[in-house]
């Protein structure tokens, strides 16, 4: 829409009832300045608007407006958009419009990562401002090959999104694939990158996360070197990387920052935790309901004694305790961190002990369930942890129906499902199935760097 | 299509499985004792005793019944308890001496055939009545059955009785070159004790080897790895501790019916205790002592072999060595172990005393 | 769905996973029964014979330059379709019945061992649904899944280490093939244990063209042979020969013998874990059945797979008892042997005839 006359009226019309709009006029210069006071920085406002226009006369205005930072704008839509993005709109003589970027977002400063904490390594985490986030990545990848493509998504929110990749490492097909997917998202608004992911999912019914998100800039940067496409979104302290595989969720920067032996062992520990968290409770149910013969005699006596007081069927018992653990976890997550810890202690110790003493559950089950709960938190990524917890219930129910056979059937279904999952043409279980022997040294184990391919 | 299949899957799964064996409803039989009744109205019937832990108190419950065959015992026994009796946790079978003399394969086959019971179930022969052994109240033991299990395990490690389970018994029973053995336990006044090895011919108990000779028997089978050996007569008493033991059996077939087997045992050890009139600081005397031990062991070996020949059994597995030297027809014609008489076994024992202890 | 190709590397896993099945659990007994003492030696010549068969298939692959054998058959004569189409249909149904019989046999054993009161049909239907899910995922996914399942089930072989202390070379004896019965029947039975490599005949269009494609099939076959050999040798060394003849599932007995401090009776865990391997076997046969079926009927993959599974299920429905299943399976396996021998020969003949025609 191009309008030359009465520009001021038209713009004001569009921004009608936006009472937070600031309008400054310099009548002697025939200049009107429009901006949102809370989107702009005071320093920038002073430097670009107040100072140049207050001590000048009509002749000089034209020269000032020729300066680089003032961009002439003819489309009224772009003018409005500019104002909404934190630019100041300068209307000169009610017919010429200039925009100047004085946007300074009011966000928190960079803080240490809270969810994906590490022992050794960088402490930074992304924040809500996309520019800061991008700067954290640029600072880590000082290369002209790092390309950044910009998008806006959400028809109303117009949220800014950056798509990052390294030219020469990332396959162009991936970039194109993700580009298309992002363009195809048709929504009115998004708040967080984790919402966008769910629109991108190829198999929405799957329990497993199909895109990898992280709040750590160092992890994001390393995903770029690995040839992945990275996505940042304004307002979200997360980055998305794709193609994702299952094993990424079991890696932590600690594996790389610490010595390889420790890295390897902690990785193996996490995979052991994966199996424990999935199968421990189901195994307990299967053993108590079907396969009693596998209990060694030394454990048998204590076990049957603790079971003998319990009034419930083992599967009901297990589900009750699992639900209690979930309740505790949810309560802990919702409460402020200090109270959350207390909840954990109260729940874990008090309820656990009381439940056993009251004959509500067997002590063996308390051990099994708490081990499997602890194991689930060994997995470094909270999204995967959640998936595993849900899967655990599936296994418990199956094992109560067919014992070990039920577990194996469930396991088979999940394995086939995982093998079928694809992410931008790459298989989800990539270095294992399809197998790439070369990649295993950085999947299941973390070999010394000298062994990595140059 | 996949939705339909999903619905079928759910429908399939909902009715569940009928094989639920929920732990608290089960009675885990720990030990089963069998004995033959020879007197009274039930003569010829089996007396079956089981022991199981009571979950609530962790005490032992003992139930006895008299049945015609072992297979029907489960029905009669389960009438006497509130639990579902299961055999998947059976750890040992006690067989009364009288029954063992009649033959035990039927019993063992029942267990061996059952997919639920395990092949590692320990087997032992009870000299007294298994029922009395299991049901007598020993105030110091909470559960007698576990005590028996541990006793068997410990004594087997010390090489006074063999560690015999269903698998091994079946292995030796079915093999044509060896006869099975089984440990013997006894109810004594102050508890339970092991009492040597029972030698079987086929599945029938023939004779026993006393505990004192049992270690010599294990020297012969080559299973003796460590332990003490007591050698004594009127004058001398030697307690000898083993370190290494090498055993080899060398079979040579003679021209005629003669079969020679050279049984050489080579072991080293140190002297733990010596009571006698030899001076064990003297090298020559030590040599004499070695010779004395050698002779003594050789004599004991001859005794054991004599016993075996007398009953025409081969519990040592000499047949296996014979088999290696023969062709199939000769072996089949041999009709082992009835022909064990034809084997001349020459034991040759070499003893080496490494040390005589901390003091002179 | 099937434009994707997989690397020849996966042929190793597919071959091995398709070959081994429930027969592994009975193999030592089967060998002892048919070939007598030291019957494990027979595995080698039979394996070599199977290897010759693989060689033939490899030959077809090279002459065919990796194109589908259906194409070769269909373009051989002008009116070949009149014979080929009904033949395809018969083969397709045959394979579907074969694979479901294999599944049923496994399920039967599992039911007998661990779920004696559950209706066998539930397990069969569950298996069919899983098979449907897997087979409709396409051959590339099947290859990937079989890789995964290989790594999950392959470490089981390390359990054999547990038996090293009890392993005795004396058990082998020096007799070779004595006490065998039906030597030729046994050879056929043993050969069926190696069946499964012939599915590679249908995989040609799905393999990425690389050098030495069939190296991996040979390796897979060698791995199967190695597994069979090691398991059988361990069974011969752990059990007495007569005992081996007596046990129906010696490998399950072997697994039952394993006891750790924290877990015992691993047989149930491992036998059920073996289900993964079985699923690949069934899926591969259903898959070749599906591929053949789709040559005749132009239905969607989902629909054809469903129909084939239902047909196979209905045909095998009347066979319930162990003996019925065993005899049905051995009959089907014999037919499959004929197919595995004559199909490659037929295709080779066609190729040579075509070549000759070209030269003329």
Compute the mean pLDDT over every residue in chain C, rounded to the nearest whole number: 90
Question: Which ranges of A162-259 would DSSP assign to H, the alpha helix?
Answer: 172-184, 193-200, 217-225, 253-257
For A154, the token pair is 């959400």
Tokens 């005590």, residue? B147
What's the mean pLDDT when you consider all of chain A? 87
Query: For chain A, what are the domain ranges?
Result: 7-101, 130-244, 255-440
Q: How far apart are CA A218 and CA A123, in angstroms?
A: 9
Phi, psi of A38 (to 5 degrees): -85, -5
Contact state of A412 with C130 under an 8 Å Cβ cutoff: yes
Q: Please indicate if any CB of chain A lies within 8 Å of the CB of C1.
A: no
Q: Mapping DSSP to helix (H, G, I), strand (E, B) and coil, where does residue B261 land?
A: strand
Instruction: Dig out the tokens for C341 from the structure.
Output: 């021998």
| Cross-strand partners of A426 | A423
Percent of chain A with pLDDT over 70: 99
Whether the CB-CB separation of C186 and C180 falls below 8 Å is answered with yes
Q: What is the pLDDT of residues B58-113, one digit of tens each?
A: 888 889 989 888 778 888 888 888 888 888 889 999 999 999 998 899 889 988 88
**What is the maximal distance between C-alpha atoms in chain B?**
94
Residue A230, H or E segment? strand A229-233
pLDDT higher than threshold 50 for residue C314 = yes
Predicted confidence (pLDDT) per residue in C102-124, tens digit: 999 999 999 888 888 888 888 89
Q: Domain B215-360: what homologous superfamily? A: Nutrient germinant receptor protein C, domain 3 (3.30.300.210)
Q: What is the pLDDT of residue A268?
A: 92
The pLDDT value recorded for residue A202 is: 82
pLDDT at C2: 45
Whether the predicted pLDDT of B233 surpasses 90: no
pLDDT for the residue A353:
86
> Does residue B160 have a pLDDT over 90?
no
pLDDT for residue A24:
87
- List the single residue in A293, A307, A402 with the smallest CB-CB distance to B89: A293
Distance from the Cα of residue B78 to its chain's centroid: 29
Task: Identify the CA nearest to B112 among candidates C23, C246, C235.
Answer: C246
Chain A residues within an 8 Å CB radius of B122 = none
User: What are B317's two structure tokens?
Assistant: 């597995």
pLDDT tens-digit readout, A331-349 = 888 888 777 778 777 777 8
Torsion angles phi and psi, residue C274, rounded to 5 = -65, -15
Q: In degrees, to the nearest 5, what angle opens at C-alpha C220 toward C-alphas C216 and C224?
A: 165
- Rounded to whole angstroms, how far apart are CA atoms C89 and A68? 78
Q: Which residue from A293, A420, A432 is facing C141, i.e. has the nearest CB?
A: A420
Phi-psi region of B162 (alpha: psi -120 to 50; beta: other; left: phi over 0): beta
CB C41 within 8 A of CB C212: no
Cα(C122)–Cα(C100) distance, integer angstroms: 13
Q: What pLDDT does residue A1 have?
A: 62
Which chains have 3 or more CB–CB distances shorter than 8 Å to chain A?
A: B, C
φ, ψ for residue A173, nearest 5 deg: -65, -40
CB pair distance less than 8 Å for A290 and B19: yes
Partners of B63 in the β-ladder: B50
Closest CA to C252 of C234, C232, C236, C266: C266
Number of Cβ within 10 Å of residue B284's Cβ equals 9
Residue predicted with more confidence, B190 or C332? C332
Tally of CB atoms within 10 A around B338: 12
* pLDDT for res B1: 63
Which residues make Cβ contacts (< 8 Å) with residue B73, sequence separation at least 6? B46, B48, B65, B67
Give how far the C-alpha of residue C144 lies from the chain's centroid of Cα atoms, to the nearest Å.
18
Give the sheet arrangement for strand A71-73, strand by strand: A21-26, A31-36, A87-92, A96-101, A71-73
Q: Which residues contact A409 (CB under 8 A, 6 or more apart)?
A: A398, A402, C126, C130, C275
Long-range residue pairs from C103-106, CB within 8 A, at least 24 positions apart, any chain: C103/C127, C103/C128, C103/C131, C103/C278, C103/C282, C104/C316, C104/C319, C104/C325, C105/C22, C105/C325, C105/C326, C105/C329, C106/C21, C106/C22, C106/C274, C106/C275, C106/C278
Residues of B in contact with C132 (CB under 8 A): 5
pLDDT tens track for C136-187:
998 999 999 999 999 888 888 898 999 998 888 888 888 888 888 888 999 9
Burial environment of residue B96 by CB neighbours within 10 A (0 to 12, 13 to 18, 19 or more): buried
Delimit the domains of chain C by residue range.
10-359
> Average pLDDT in the C75-94 region?
86
Structure tokens at C203: 């995989």
DSSP string, B25-62: GEEE--EEEEEE--SSTTTT-EEEEEEEEETTTTEEEE
Q: Which of C110, C137, C268 sits opposite A420 (nearest CB)?
A: C137
- What the block records as the tokens of C8 is 């020849």
Q: How many CB pairs under 8 A join B and C?
A: 83
Q: Percentage of chain A with pLDDT > 90?
A: 26
A427 contact C CB<8A? yes
- Listing from the earlier edge strand, what are the strands of the sheet with B343-355? B228-232, B237-253, B259-275, B343-355
**Beta bridge pairs of residue B28:** B86
Q: Does C286 reach chain A within 8 Å, measured CB to CB?
A: no
Element (H, E) at C138: none
Characterize the bridge pairing of strands B122-126 and B92-96. Answer: parallel
The pLDDT, as a whole number, for residue C225 is: 95
Higher-confidence residue of C152 and B189: namely: C152
What dihedral do alpha carbons C301, C303, C308, C313 form, nearest 10°? Answer: 130
The CA distance from A77 to A82, in Å, is 8
Q: How confident is the model at residue B17 (pLDDT cuts 50, 70, 90)?
A: low
Q: Does residue A438 belong to the interface with chain C, where contact is any CB pair within 8 Å?
A: no
Mean of pLDDT over chain B: 84
Which CATH architecture fits C10-359?
Orthogonal Bundle (1.10)
Residue B317, pLDDT score: 85
C266·A294 Cβ contact <8 A: yes
What is the per-residue pLDDT for A453? 61
Question: Is residue B360 very low, low, confident or very high in pLDDT (cuts 50, 70, 90)?
Answer: low
Burial C16-35 (b: 16+ CB within 10 A, else e): bbbbbbbbbbbbbbbbbbbb
- Residue B244's alpha-carbon distances to B224, B225, B291, in angstroms, are 9, 7, 18
All residues of chain A having their beta carbon less than 8 Å from the beta carbon of residue C268 are 291, 293-294, 404
Count Cβ atoms below 10 Å from residue A266 Cβ, excluding itself: 18
Average pLDDT of A91-117?
85
State which of C65-74, C94-103, C119-128 shows the largest mean pLDDT: C94-103
* A252: CB partners within 8 A, 6+ apart: A116, A118, A266, A380
Distance from CA of C336 to the nearest CA of A (A): 28
Residues of B in contact with C303 (CB under 8 A): 1
- Closest approach of C276 to chain A, Cα-based (Å): 7
Confidence of residue A54 (pLDDT cuts 50, 70, 90): confident
Phi-psi category of residue A374: left, alpha or beta, with phi > 0 → left and psi -120 to 50 → alpha: alpha
Residue A212 belongs to what H/E stretch?
Answer: strand A212-214
Residue A23: phi and psi, rounded to 5, are -120, 120
Closest C-alpha among A222, B125, B11 to residue C122: B11
Across the interface, whether the CB atoms of A429 and C272 are under 8 A apart is answered no
* Beta-carbon contacts of residue B171 (< 8 Å; ≥ 6 apart): C239, C240, C243
Task: Please say if the pLDDT value at position A190 is more than 90.
Answer: no
Residue B228 · residue B237 · CB < 8 Å: no
- Are B205 and B198 in contact by the 8 Å Cβ rule? The answer is yes
Cis peptide bond N-terminal to C241, omega within 30? no
pLDDT at C53: 92
CB contacts of A405 in chain C (<8 Å) are 110, 114-115, 123, 272, 275
C268 pLDDT more than 60:
yes
Collapsed DSSP state (helix, strand, coil) of residue B126: strand
- CA–CA separation, A77 vs A79, rounded Å? 5
Q: Which of C10, C200, C277, C134 is nearest to A437 (CA)?
A: C10
- Strand-pair category, B46-54 with B122-126: unpaired
Nearest to C30 by CA among C313, C291, C244: C244
Q: Which of C141, C142, C206, C277 to mutate to test the interface with A (most CBs of A within 10 A)?
A: C141
> Minimal CA–CA distance to A374: which of A263, A268, A245, A272?
A272
E strand map for chain B: 26-28, 31-36, 46-54, 59-67, 84-86, 92-96, 122-126, 181-188, 191-201, 204-209, 228-232, 237-253, 259-275, 343-355
Give chains near C: 3+ CB pairs under 8 A.
A, B
Name the residue with tokens 């047989």: C267
Query: Is some CB atom of chain C closer than 8 A to the CB atom of A416?
Result: yes
Say if the Cβ atoms of B55 and A304 lie within 8 Å.
yes
Asked if residues C271 and C25 have their Cβ atoms less than 8 Å apart, the reply is yes
- At CA C354, angle to CA C351 and CA C357, rounded to 5? 150
Residue C50 has pLDDT above 90, yes or no: yes
Task: Tell whether the model's pLDDT for residue C1 goes beyond 50.
Answer: no
* C-alpha distances in Å from residue A12, one per residue of A21, A35, A80, B22: 9, 11, 9, 76
User: CA C299, C305, C306 angle in degrees (round to 5)?
Assistant: 100
Flag whether pLDDT at A439 surpasses 90.
no
Please tell me which residue, A95 or C45, carries the higher pLDDT value: C45
**What pLDDT is attached to residue A438?**
76
Q: pLDDT tens digits, residue range C210-265?
A: 888 889 999 999 999 999 999 999 999 999 999 999 999 999 999 999 888 888 88
Mean of pLDDT values over A239-259: 89
């Amino acid at each position: 829409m191009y309008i030359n006359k009465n520009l001021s009226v038209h713009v004001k019309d569009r921004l009608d009832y936006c009472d937070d709009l600031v309008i400054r006029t310099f009548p002697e210069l025939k200049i009107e300045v429009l901006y949102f006071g809370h989107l702009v920085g005071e320093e920038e406002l002073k430097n670009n608007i107040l100072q140049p226009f207050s001590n000048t006369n009509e002749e000089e205005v034209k020269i000032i407006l020729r300066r680089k930072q003032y961009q002439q704008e003819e489309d009224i839509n772009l003018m409005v958009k500019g104002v909404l993005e934190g630019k100041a709109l300068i209307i000169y003589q009610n017919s010429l419009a200039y925009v100047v970027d004085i946007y300074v977002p009011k966000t928190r400063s960079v803080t240490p990562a809270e969810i994906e904490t590490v022992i050794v390594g960088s402490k930074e985490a992304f924040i809500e401002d996309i520019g800061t986030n991008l700067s954290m990545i640029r600072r880590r990848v000082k290369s002209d090959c790092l390309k950044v493509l910009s998008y806006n998504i959400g028809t109303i929110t117009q949220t800014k999104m950056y798509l990052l990749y390294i030219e020469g490492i990332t396959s162009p097909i991936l970039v194109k694939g993700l580009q298309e997917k992002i363009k195809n998202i048709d929504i009115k608004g998004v708040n967080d990158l984790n919402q966008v992911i769910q629109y991108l999912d190829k198999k929405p019914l799957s329990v497993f996360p199909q895109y990898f998100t992280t709040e750590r800039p160092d992890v994001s940067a390393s995903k770029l070197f690995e040839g992945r496409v990275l996505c940042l979104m304004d307002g979200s302290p997360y980055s998305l990387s794709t193609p994702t595989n299952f094993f990424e969720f079991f890696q932590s920067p600690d594996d790389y920052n610490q010595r390889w032996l420790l890295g390897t062992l902690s990785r193996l520990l996490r995979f052991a935790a994966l199996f424990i968290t999935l199968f421990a409770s189901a195994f307990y149910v299967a053993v108590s309901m079907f396969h009693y013969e596998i209990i060694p005699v030394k454990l048998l006596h204590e076990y049957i004694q603790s079971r003998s007081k319990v009034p419930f069927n083992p599967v009901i018992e297990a589900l009750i305790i699992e639900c209690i653990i979930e309740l505790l976890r949810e309560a802990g997550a919702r409460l402020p961190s200090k109270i959350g810890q207390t909840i954990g202690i109260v729940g874990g110790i008090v309820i656990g002990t009381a439940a056993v003493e009251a004959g509500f559950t067997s002590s063996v089950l308390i051990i099994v369930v708490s081990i499997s709960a602890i194991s689930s938190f060994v997995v470094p990524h909270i999204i995967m942890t959640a998936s595993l917890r849900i899967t655990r219930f599936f296994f418990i129910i199956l094992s109560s129906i067919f014992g070990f056979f039920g577990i194996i059937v469930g396991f088979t279904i999940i394995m086939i499902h995982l093998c079928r999952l694809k992410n931008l043409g790459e298989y989800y279980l990539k270095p294992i199935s399809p197998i790439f022997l070369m990649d295993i040294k950085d999947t299941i184990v973390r070999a010394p760097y000298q062994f990595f391919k140059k | 299509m996949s939705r339909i299949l999903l619905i079928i899957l759910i429908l399939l799964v909902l009715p569940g499985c009928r094989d639920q064996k929920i732990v608290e409803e089960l009675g885990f039989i720990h030990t089963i004792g069998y004995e033959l009744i020879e007197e009274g109205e039930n003569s010829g019937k089996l007396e079956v005793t089981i022991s199981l832990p009571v979950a609530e108190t962790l005490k032992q419950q003992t139930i006895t019944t008299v049945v015609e065959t072992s297979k029907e015992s489960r029905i009669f026994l389960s009438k006497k308890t509130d639990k579902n009796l299961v055999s998947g946790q059976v750890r040992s079978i006690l067989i009364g001496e009288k029954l063992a003399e009649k033959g035990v394969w039927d019993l063992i086959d029942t267990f061996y055939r059952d997919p639920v019971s395990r092949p590692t179930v320990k087997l032992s022969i009870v000299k007294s009545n298994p029922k009395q052994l299991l049901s007598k109240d020993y105030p110091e033991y909470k559960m007698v059955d576990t005590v028996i299990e541990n006793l068997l395990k410990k004594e087997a490690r010390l090489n006074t009785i063999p560690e015999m389970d269903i698998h091994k018994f079946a292995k030796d029973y079915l093999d044509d070159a060896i006869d099975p053995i089984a440990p013997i336990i006894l109810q004594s006044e102050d508890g339970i004790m092991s009492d040597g090895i029972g030698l079987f011919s086929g599945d029938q108990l023939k004779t026993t080897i006393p505990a004192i000779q049992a270690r010599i028997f294990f020297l012969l089978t080559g299973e003796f790895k460590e332990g003490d050996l007591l050698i004594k007569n009127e004058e001398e008493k030697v307690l000898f501790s083993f370190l290494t033991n090498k055993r080899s059996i060398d079979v040579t077939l003679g021209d005629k019916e003669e079969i020679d087997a050279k049984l050489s045992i080579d072991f080293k050890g140190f002297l733990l205790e010596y009571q006698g009139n030899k001076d064990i600081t003297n090298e020559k005397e030590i040599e004499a002592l070695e010779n004395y031990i050698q002779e003594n062991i050789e004599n004991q070996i001859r005794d054991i072999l004599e016993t075996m020949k007398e009953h025409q059994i081969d519990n040592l597995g000499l047949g296996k060595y014979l088999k290696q030297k023969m062709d199939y027809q000769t072996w089949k014609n041999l009709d082992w172990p009835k022909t064990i008489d034809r084997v001349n076994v020459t034991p040759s024992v070499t003893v080496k005393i490494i040390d005589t202890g901390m003091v002179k | 769905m099937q434009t994707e190709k997989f690397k020849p590397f996966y042929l190793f896993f597919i071959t091995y996973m398709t070959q081994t099945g429930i027969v592994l659990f009975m193999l030592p007994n089967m060998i002892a029964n048919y070939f007598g003492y030291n019957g494990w030696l027979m595995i080698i010549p039979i394996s070599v014979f199977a290897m010759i068969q693989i060689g033939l298939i490899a030959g077809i692959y090279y002459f065919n330059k990796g194109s589908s054998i259906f194409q070769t058959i269909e373009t051989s004569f002008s009116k070949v379709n009149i014979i080929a189409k009904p033949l395809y249909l018969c083969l397709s149904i045959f394979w579907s019945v074969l694979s479901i019989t294999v599944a049923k046999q496994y399920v039967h054993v599992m039911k007998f061992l661990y779920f004696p009161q559950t209706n066998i049909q539930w397990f069969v239907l569950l298996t069919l649904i899983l098979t449907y899910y897997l087979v409709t995922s396409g051959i590339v996914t099947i290859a990937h899944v079989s890789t995964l399942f290989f790594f999950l089930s392959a470490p089981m072989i390390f359990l054999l280490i547990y038996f090293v202390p009890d392993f005795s070379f004396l058990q082998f004896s020096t007799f070779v093939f004595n006490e065998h019965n039906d030597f030729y029947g046994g050879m056929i039975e043993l050969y069926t244990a190696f069946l499964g490599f012939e599915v590679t005949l249908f995989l040609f269009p799905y393999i990425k063209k690389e050098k030495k494609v069939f190296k991996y099939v040979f390796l897979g076959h060698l791995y199967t042979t190695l597994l069979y050999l090691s398991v059988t040798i361990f069974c011969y060394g752990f059990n007495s020969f007569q005992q081996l003849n007596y046990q129906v599932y010696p490998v399950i007995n072997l697994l039952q013998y394993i006891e750790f401090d924290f877990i015992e009776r691993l047989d149930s865990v491992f036998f059920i874990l073996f289900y993964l391997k079985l699923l690949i076997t069934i899926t591969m046969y259903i898959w070749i059945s599906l591929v053949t079926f789709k040559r005749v009927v132009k239905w969607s993959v989902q629909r054809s797979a469903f129909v084939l599974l239902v047909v196979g299920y209905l045909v095998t429905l009347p066979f319930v008892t162990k003996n019925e299943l065993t005899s049905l399976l051995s009959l089907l396996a014999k037919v499959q042997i004929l197919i595995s021998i004559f199909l490659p020969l037929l295709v080779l003949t066609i190729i040579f005839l075509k070549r000759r025609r070209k030269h003329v």
